[in-house]
């Protein structure tokens, strides 16, 4: 979300999948007025989402759809509860990107993006939002059960991100690390119980481990956002990933000692 005013910001985009010097300099025009906004995409860190919207939404038309692109869970529900009468949607994506320099964005992998409603009024906007996002070249799909979809990504993030931050390694390297091997089965047992209690979905701990390791291996050279945050000295999103699972456990009376250990260790970095 850019500040009001005139001017341009520049970003160098570099598709990692194309060999050689393929960087492109992209102009990002600032909008002149909040009245120009017909679709608001919120790409802040999960912990900044609520405060960012509290600053901006009073100036934005109440029928403007808002799409949340946050990791984990918790921030999305907080926004929907804060503004139940606005069209609030959430997105889940498997697109990969990282920012090695302040003005450089690397597209590290293509994927799919799902968008679905969080508030009642958002259902009327979902198809038009999907169509607008698809014009960018993304593979975008409608997902009426978006929280369920977010849970699927949460499972993978909970099994990868904290380990990459603690071990300071790319995704694929966690699978052979002693810390991971000693704790992943206990972690997956917790996640399976939480998934069943919170969504009604049944998945065995072994199936969850296989899913996590398949993603870790297919994105072996990628740096997770949590590892990048730790290395850059930024606050991580652990509270909305393994921390959210802890909160879920408290709601359902399910012990989550492995998630608690990971949260405490990441917070101590």
So which residues are the catalytic ones? 153
- Residue 27: phi and psi, rounded to 5, are -90, 130
Rg (CA), the chain: 19
- Residue 24: phi and psi, rounded to 5, are -125, 135
Give which of 20, 112, 114 is closest to 67, Cα–Cα: 114
- Three-class SS state of 99: strand
Enumerate the H helices of the chain as residue ranges.
49-56, 75-82, 126-134, 146-167, 178-199, 205-218, 225-232, 242-252, 257-267
178-199 vs 242-252: helix crossing angle, rounded to 10: 50
Pull the structure tokens for residue 150. 């977010």
* 186 and 259 Cβ atoms separated by less than 8 Å: no
Instruction: Output the CA–CA distances (angstroms, integers) from residue 3 to 25, 30, 55, 130, 189, in the order listed.
Output: 21, 7, 11, 26, 45
């Amino acid at each position: 979300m850019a500040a009001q005013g005139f001017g341009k910001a520049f970003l160098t985009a570099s598709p990692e999948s194309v060999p050689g010097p393929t960087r492109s300099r992209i102009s990002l025009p600032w909008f002149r007025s909040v009245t120009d906004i017909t679709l608001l995409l919120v790409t802040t860190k999960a912990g900044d989402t609520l405060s960012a919207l509290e600053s901006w939404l009073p100036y934005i038309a109440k029928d403007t759809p808002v799409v949340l692109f946050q990791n984990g869970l918790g921030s999305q529900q907080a926004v929907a509860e804060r503004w139940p009468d606005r069209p609030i949607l959430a997105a889940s994506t498997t697109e990969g990107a990282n920012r090695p320099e302040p003005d450089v964005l690397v597209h590290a992998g293509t994927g799919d993006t799902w968008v679905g409603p969080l508030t009642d009024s958002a259902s009327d906007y979902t198809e038009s939002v999907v169509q607008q996002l698809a014009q960018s070249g993304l593979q975008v799909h409608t997902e009426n059960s978006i929280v369920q979809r977010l849970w699927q990504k949460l499972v993978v993030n909970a099994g990868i991100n904290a380990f990459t931050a603690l071990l300071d390694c790319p995704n694929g390297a966690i699978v052979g690390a002693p810390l991971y091997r000693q704790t992943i089965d206990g972690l997956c047992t917790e996640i399976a119980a939480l998934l069943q209690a919170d969504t009604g979905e049944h998945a065995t701990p072994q199936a969850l481990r296989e899913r996590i390791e398949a993603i870790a291996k297919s994105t072996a050279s990628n740096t997770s956002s949590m590892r990048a945050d730790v290395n850059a000295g930024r606050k991580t999103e652990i509270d909305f990933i393994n921390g959210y699972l802890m909160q879920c456990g408290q709601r359902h009376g399910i012990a989550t000692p492995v998630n608690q250990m990971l949260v405490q260790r990441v917070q101590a970095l």
